[in-house]
């Protein structure tokens, strides 16, 4: 019984720490030569069916026949001193860094990441 409870506790913690978000967009057909060849994204670019790409906002997207699905590709810091520190997002690496507000050369300890 203790083993089962321990496993359930580990599962509950794992689910909490891995709750990145996803969203779906209905199919806006991408047309070439009068034929639907894929999905038209919000920037007007056509992506072939079954293709994958990363957006400039760090979302990993896929094109399906019923639309586009995108999920966050980054983890967000939680459990740090928000009075003393600030999180900074780097779009080049799709990562957060947490630094002191008054001295950005000093990183702050982060106790958890979500996503």
pLDDT digits (tens, 9 = 90+) for 53-64: 999 999 999 999
What structural domains does the chain harbor? 22-72 (2.10.70.10), 76-114 (2.20.25.590)
Question: b/e for 13-37, b at 16 or more Cβ within 10 A?
Answer: eeeeeeeeeeeebebeebeeeeeee
Closest CA relative to residue 98, chosen from 51, 84, 65, 67:
84
Query: Given CA atoms 63, 114, 95, 87 in this order, what sign does their dihedral have?
Result: positive
Is the separation of the CB atoms in 32 and 51 below 8 Å? Answer: no
**Dihedral of the CA atoms 87, 89, 90, 91 (nearest 10)?**
180
Which two three-digit tokens encode residue 57? Answer: 């906002």
Q: What residue spans of the chain are helical by DSSP H?
A: 2-17
Q: pLDDT digit string (tens) for 68-112?
A: 999 999 999 999 999 999 999 999 999 999 999 999 999 999 999
Tell me the pLDDT of the chain averaged across its residues.
86
Strand partners, 97: 88
Q: Would the pLDDT of 14 be above 80?
A: no
Q: Would the pLDDT of 1 be above 60?
A: no
pLDDT at 95: 96
């Amino acid at each position: 019984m203790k083993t089962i409870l321990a496993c359930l506790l580990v599962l509950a913690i794992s689910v909490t720490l891995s709750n990145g978000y996803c969203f779906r967009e209905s199919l806006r057909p991408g047309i070439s030569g009068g034929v639907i060849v894929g999905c038209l994204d919000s920037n007007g670019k056509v992506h072939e069916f079954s293709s994958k790409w990363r957006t400039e906002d760090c979302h990993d997207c896929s094109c399906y026949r019923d639309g586009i699905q995108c999920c966050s590709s980054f983890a967000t810091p939680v459990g740090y001193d928000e009075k003393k520190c600030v999180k900074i997002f780097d779009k080049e690496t799709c990562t957060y860094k947490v630094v002191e507000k008054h001295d950005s050369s000093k990183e702050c300890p982060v106790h958890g990441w979500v996503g």
